Amino acid sequence: MKTTSNWLLLRDLNILLKAVESLTARDGGMCSEASADALILGLNHLKQKGTLIFITDAPPYDDAETQTTLEQIKQLVGCNEGN
């Protein structure tokens, strides 16, 4: 595992699995999150044939433009309307 600035690069997914399994939820409450924005940010940094793991425990903000975000995601990953 190596750290580059704020980015963590790893090839062993077991390391990621152990890190996720060690997480505990606390002090969060049921507040909205910027999940739609996070998806776009993650996809904009995703390398070709890369994998994005998206985990959230809350809905997007009420004013999040989820349909617009969905369309942007489709464009970024190359989905066609019929797929």
Could you write out the three-class secondary structure of 10-44? CCCHHHHHHHHHCCCCCCCCCCCECHHHHHHHHHH
pLDDT digits (tens, 9 = 90+) for 64-77: 888 888 888 788 77
- 17 assigned to some structural domain: no
- 23 assigned to some structural domain: no
- 70 assigned to some structural domain: yes
Centroid of chain to Cα 80: 21
Centroid of chain to Cα 32: 15
Residue 83's pLDDT is what? 47
Residue 42: domain span: 34-83
pLDDT digits (tens, 9 = 90+) for 25-62: 777 666 778 888 888 888 888 888 888 888 887 788 88
Residue 9's pLDDT is what? 64
Residue 40's pLDDT is what? 83
Domain count, the chain: 1
- 16 assigned to some structural domain: no
